[in-house]
């Protein structure tokens, strides 16, 4: 993420901590994505794992709980991409 995107996402999370109802549209959006994955006909549980791992990695980086070197992040992303491709085949 670009620093400006990270700052914007952190501001949204801070605002949501004051008013959790602000997260409702995001919850609805994510639920619809997960439902779409589940009904896609692919191995839905594995697809959910890849999706949630990707989102979790982004969140951990966003809140600065994990700092990965660019090469390490690229390797992880490559693994997730490979898993996603295997799920589709």
Angstrom distance (rounded) from CA 67 to CA 86: 28
pTM: 0.77
Q: Highest-confidence range of 5-19, 22-36, 44-58, 72-86, by mean pLDDT?
A: 72-86
* SS (HEC) of 28-41: HHHHHHHHHHHCCC
Q: Highest-confidence range of 23-27, 48-52, 74-78, by mean pLDDT?
A: 74-78
Angstrom distance (rounded) from CA 19 to CA 14: 9
DSSP state of 39: T
pLDDT for position 4: 82
Cβ-contact 35, 28 below 8 angstroms: no
- Tens digits of per-residue pLDDT, 28-70? 999 999 898 878 776 888 888 898 999 899 888 888 889 999 9
Angstrom distance (rounded) from CA 44 to CA 65: 28
């Amino acid at each position: 993420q670009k620093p400006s995107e990270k700052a914007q996402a952190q501001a949204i999370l801070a605002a949501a901590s004051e008013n959790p109802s602000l997260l409702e549209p995001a919850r609805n959006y994510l639920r619809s994505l997960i439902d779409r994955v589940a009904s896609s006909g692919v191995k839905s549980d594995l697809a959910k794992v890849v999706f949630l791992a990707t989102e979790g990695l982004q969140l951990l980086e966003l809140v600065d709980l994990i700092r990965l070197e660019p090469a390490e992040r690229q390797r992880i992303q490559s693994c997730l991409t490979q898993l996603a491709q295997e799920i589709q085949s």
